[in-house]
Structure 1
Amino acid sequence: MITRIKAAFVIGYADGDHCILPNAELVHEDGTIVFVGRDYPGAVDINIDAGQAVVSPGFIDLNALADIDHALFDSWPDPTRRLGLVWSESYLRDHGAVFTREQLRFRREFALSQLVRNGITTLMPIASESYHEWCEDYEDLADTADAVEALGVRAYLGPSYRTAVPYTDGKRVMLHEDERRGLDGLDQAVRFAQDFEGRAHGLIRAALLPARIETQTEKTLQLTRQAADELKLPVRLHAAQGLFEVETMISRTGRRPLPYLADLGFLAERTFIPHAWTIPGHSHMPAAFGTGDDLALLSDSGTTVLLCPIPMAHYGGMLDSYDSYRERGVRIALGTDSAPPNMIRAMDLAMGMTKTLTGDRSSAQAADLLRSATVDPAESLGRSDLGRLAPGAQADYFVLDLTGSHIGPLADPVRTLIMNADGRDITQVVVAGRTIVDKGEIVTVDTSGYRERAQEFLDHYIASLTVSDFARRPLHELLPPSFPLR
């Protein structure tokens, strides 16, 4: 089946980079692009005129929220209430999973549908750990794989695992360690990779996704690196994302997170470090945590940083400069990591936050940000067939309508997309040549009732926090509303 789609603008790819093609067309035969340009000479089976719209490569989100978001209740509390969102000592000793397997499966289905609606065609999921009995497991990700296949999105999957969980006595946060459980989680992750790599005609690929660095032991990190190298899998590890983590790692190992990982040989190509902002020289980094060139460790090893501006704006924190990392040769890929999983909003926030921090209006250029959401993560994955619209590449793209009155008049289409448009302006999403979103609605699975079920999930999640709170406070005290309810 040969499909041609015409639009006012197509973001093509030539001479190693994106290019803008006004009044152009994209042609794909089933899942592969065969032509990008004007006046395709061959016959087509389906002809679509998108009109005043942008046809763009699909976004690649390698820190994609695959959960019902928790920022609504944990991004604003004061320190006392914040401790109430960490497991108490009594809860650590005696608790079970908060949700059933069916509820967990639904939260994946809902989150995946939200990602796709926002033009994300390739994803690597991240989810909360706090409502699990310990962490994700094989069965949870097997259900996720089923949901990915039904929806038709492209995904890099694997259960997360950890050797420690945070808990509190009401005064400070500590870590309860159980290396055996982390090693079992790694075994499940390897088994998942062996069972699911290449499933769904190649839409599902495997990855190793250990949880945050302070919840790992040296053994799990070394074995993760070994397994990733043997199975040729990408790896993601949250590191250098907060002062508690840095202090913990220095206390435990005598080194900051990134030098520690470099010494272990963990940093490498196809390795992704979300956030990576608590490094020497950052304005929030205490001088007592030492000096050194952590950016050189990332650049020299080919490690990719996953920049997630939405949670950084919610929780406070940001790279001192998006451009300074790139100028040092560190590849940056953008992620959402929070709700709304809106990559356009993430690009706009990255632009605004960088300009504010640097005082340089020429920083965080729109072209660089689009690269960070498309071709750069594709290159980091070793996928020259993703993140670009060119003959031979996968037919993964979205159509963004430019006619909305809120967008206003057009200038450069990429700058207009980032600064004036929104994920809600995306009308069509195609993955591997298959339409997943049409006229703004999911067409591959039935999403009726999703909104109501997601609300039930979040309500249950929030209610469970009173049980794990060290002070067992009622909800109106632990998480009071913005204004009094009358």
Structure 2
Amino acid sequence: MRTRWRARHILAHQDGGHALLRDGEVVWQDDTVIYVGPRYEGEVDRERDLGDSLVMPGLIDLDALTDIDHLVLDSWAGPERGPGLQWSAEYFARRRHDVFTPRERSTVREYALAQLALHGITTFMPIASEVHSRWAEPYDELVDMARTASRIGLRGYLGPAYRSGVNVVLPDGTRDVAFDEEEGRAGLRDAVRFLDHLAGLGDPLLTGVLLPCRIETLTEELLGDTARIARERGVLVRLHALQGLVERAIIQRRHDGMTPLELLDKHGLLAPNLLIPHTVTLDRHPSVHGEDRGDLALLARTGVSVIHCPQTSLRYGEMLHSFRAYREAGVNLCLGTDSFPPDLIRGMDVGVHLAKIAEGRSDAAPAEHYVEAATLGGARALGRDDLGRIAPGAQADLVAFSLDDIRDGVLDDPVRTFLLNGTARQATDSVVAGRPVLVDGALPGIDLPELARRAQELFQKMRAAYSERDTERRATEALFPPTFPALRAPRRHPAPVKDVRT
């Protein structure tokens, strides 16, 4: 099957980087691009004229939310609500069940993956909160997610999250980690079992990876076993680390002053197969040392990829120091959303402007550098030179964003203008491995209004469950007060007397 897309703007690939093609065409046969240029002279079986659109390589989200968003609940509040609305130490001792049933969790996954597709993401690596789970992510849950990803048509790098400890809030309000080492061992066994499951499926769009949780929730045993298995199986590892001062303090307290980066190095995890989301609190962070003492050079030398999540970092009051410094040091930068909306376009725009603040200069991170991170950087992190680019021989993973809305303003450079004025909600069409995923802004076979209704019900259930986990068992209304008080009903007044005149 040979298919052609025609569009006003195409972000093609040439000489190792992206290049803009105006009034161009992309043609693919089966799952592979065979032509990019002004006009294709051969025969095609299907074609689509996308008009005033920007066609880009499919966006790669390596910290992709596959959950109902919790940031809307925990990113705006002060310390009186508890740090991040974590488990209480008392709840850890009596934990018994997940908030959601397996069927409800399946709905949550479908809702989240539909959101990724609607926002132009074609390749994802999942992330979900464990706050409302009994522990982490069971094997069966990821088997179900793989089925859903396959049904929608996304390219997924999947594995169940596992951990041997959980962040808790102590009665005095401080943070610590409570451990159950057997839970960690069981989680790793499930992760290996899932690698075998995906290998048995033989689906080229689904790849097994190891996804341990946050570094402070892993024992040294689990860190070492993760590194060993990744080497033996030749798989990627993604591990949240270097993302906050609380994490750094816990690691140093538990590991004789060792920093998170030193702990990763000790267990052989610093390697090209490691992806680290956030990676904010390096030595150059103002609250660490405020200067470069070699952390960036170590990341670059060992080939680690940093998953930068600018929009989520901003919402929690953090940022990289800085995007330009990481890039110039030779660190591979890729992007993640990590929260709702999974909008990498908004994320790139936020990142560009945060970099200006971090550097104190307006050219700290040009838009094109962020686009490269969302495409080529993600492909490098995955070890895939056939993703992240539109060129003959590459996989036909494409997304089209409409640029014909007057609310987007006037057009200068299509990429720069889109990042500044646009949003990923302008995605109209996408294909993964040449197969349609998003068609005219819709996902064939998915009832989006019904999915939205069910997701809202499950969000309300998740929101109510925080009370059970809270240190003081406060009511939901106390944990999540409204922005403004509800309007009081007006007083009733007697009806005015009718003025009758003769």
Q: What TM-score do you get using the length of structure 2 for normalisation? A: 0.94
Aligned length: 484
- Aligned-residue offset at 1:445: 3.3
Change (3 A) 1:437 1:291: closer
- Aligned-residue offset at 1:198: 7.2
Structure 1 residue identity aligned to 2:90: S
Matches within 5 A, 1:113-124: 113-124=114-125
Between 459-468 and 438-447, the greater mean CA deviation after superposition: 438-447
Contact 1:345 1:418 in 2 (8 A): yes
How far apart are the structure 1 equivalents of 2:248 and 2:381? 26
Contact 1:74 1:82 in 2 (8 A): no
Structure of higher CA gyration radius: 2
Show the counterpart of 2:176.
174
Change (3 A) 1:286 1:464: farther
Change (3 A) 1:281 1:83: closer
Which of 265, 268, 282 is residue 262 of structure 1 equivalent to?
A: 265
- Aligned-residue offset at 1:110: 0.4
* Cα offsets for 1:20-70 (capped at 9, x unmatched): 111110001121111011221210111211111111101001100000000
Structure 2 residue identity aligned to 1:303: V
Structure 2: state its 5+ residue gaps: 488-502
Contact 1:199 1:205 in 2 (8 A): no
How far apart are the structure 1 equivalents of 2:50 and 2:477? 49
- Aligned-residue offset at 1:83: 4.1
Show the counterpart of 2:450.
449
Change (3 A) 1:39 1:429: same
Structure 1 stretches of 4+ with a deviation exceeding 2 A read 197-201, 284-287, 444-448
Q: Secondary structure at the match of 1:6?
A: strand
Structure 1 residue identity aligned to 2:280: W
Contact 1:198 1:205 in 2 (8 A): no
How far apart are the structure 1 equivalents of 2:322 and 2:213? 26
How far apart are the structure 1 equivalents of 2:7 and 2:169? 55
Q: Secondary structure at the match of 1:197?
A: helix
Show the counterpart of 1:72.
72
How far apart are the structure 2 equivalents of 1:84 and 1:275? 17
Change (3 A) 1:11 1:280: same
Contact 2:65 2:127 in 1 (8 A): yes
Contact 1:435 1:443 in 2 (8 A): no
Show the counterpart of 1:128.
129
Matches within 5 A, 1:170-209: 170-171=171-172, 172-197=174-199, 199=201, 201-209=203-211
* Cα offsets for 1:421-470 (capped at 9, x unmatched): 11111110111111111111111434341111111111101101111111
Change (3 A) 1:343 1:291: closer
How far apart are the structure 1 equivalents of 2:84 and 2:390? 48
* Cα offsets for 1:132-179 (capped at 9, x unmatched): 111101011011001101111000000000010122233212211111
Show the counterpart of 1:10.
10
Structure 2 residue identity aligned to 1:273: I
* Cα offsets for 1:309-349 (capped at 9, x unmatched): 11111111111110000100111101100000000001000
How far apart are the structure 1 equivalents of 2:84 and 2:170? 10
Matches within 5 A, 1:349-428: 349-428=350-429
Which of 274, 280, 284 is residue 281 of structure 1 equivalent to?
A: 284
Contact 1:7 1:25 in 2 (8 A): yes
Show the counterpart of 1:38.
38
* Cα offsets for 1:269-323 (capped at 9, x unmatched): 0210111111112113268xx9831111111100000100111111111111100
Contact 1:84 1:470 in 2 (8 A): no
Show the counterpart of 1:272.
275
How far apart are the structure 1 equivalents of 2:180 and 2:424? 41
How far apart are the structure 1 equivalents of 2:368 and 2:284? 27
Change (3 A) 1:200 1:8: farther
Contact 1:84 1:469 in 2 (8 A): no
How far apart are the structure 2 equivalents of 1:221 and 1:317? 26
* Cα offsets for 1:220-239 (capped at 9, x unmatched): 11111111111111110011
Structure 1 residue identity aligned to 2:227: R
Between 170-179 and 350-359, the greater mean CA deviation after superposition: 170-179
Contact 1:87 1:468 in 2 (8 A): yes
* Cα offsets for 1:367-391 (capped at 9, x unmatched): 1111100011101211111110111
Q: What TM-score do you get using the length of structure 1 for normalisation? A: 0.97
Structure 2 residue identity aligned to 1:175: V
Between 437-446 and 10-19, the greater mean CA deviation after superposition: 437-446
Structure 1: state its 5+ residue gaps: none
Cα root mean square deviation, aligned: 1.4
Matches within 5 A, 1:145-156: 145-156=146-157
Matches within 5 A, 1:242-321: 242-253=244-255, 254-285=257-288, 292-321=293-322
How far apart are the structure 1 equivalents of 2:463 and 2:378? 34
